[in-house]
């Protein structure tokens, strides 16, 4: 089950977070550290689908980054790969490649 979806700007400012829970906000901000770390390490080749960023507090955190720097952070309950994340990833691809 998807707990929250966050859209983060290129300058790491939240554009939208679908949840009002503080824990979801904190996990979304923590995902930015992973994004920045991976982007710095692979500055010459950037893959849009970052996949599983980390797992914390019974929540899997997934990430997707557009070529314009907008970041999608998806929080999913539980530790198993959910079919929901494939739906979100393919939905991002459809929206962004029109």
Q: For the chain, which residues make up each domain, given as ranges?
A: 2-96
Contacts of 8 (CB under 8 A, 6+ apart): 14, 15, 28, 32, 35, 70, 71, 72, 73
pLDDT of residue 46: 60
User: pTM of the prediction?
Assistant: 0.76
Averages of pLDDT over each 10 residues, the chain, 98 residues: 88 89 89 84 68 86 86 82 57 50
2-96 domain in CATH 3.20.20.150? no
Rounded to whole angstroms, the Cα distance separating 13 from 75 reads: 18
* CA-based radius of gyration for the chain: 13
Spell out where the chain has E strands: 2-8, 14-17, 49-56, 59-65, 71-77
């Amino acid at each position: 089950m998807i707990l929250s979806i966050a859209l983060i700007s290129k300058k790491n400012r939240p554009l939208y977070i679908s949840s009002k829970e503080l824990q979801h906000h904190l996990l979304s901000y923590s995902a930015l550290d992973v994004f920045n770390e991976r982007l710095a390490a692979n500055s010459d080749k950037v893959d849009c689908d970052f996949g599983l960023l980390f797992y914390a507090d019974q929540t899997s955190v997934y990430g997707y980054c557009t070529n314009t720097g907008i970041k999608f952070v998806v929080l999913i309950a539980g530790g198993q790969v959910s079919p929901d994340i494939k739906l979100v990833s393919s939905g991002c691809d459809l929206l962004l490649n029109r």
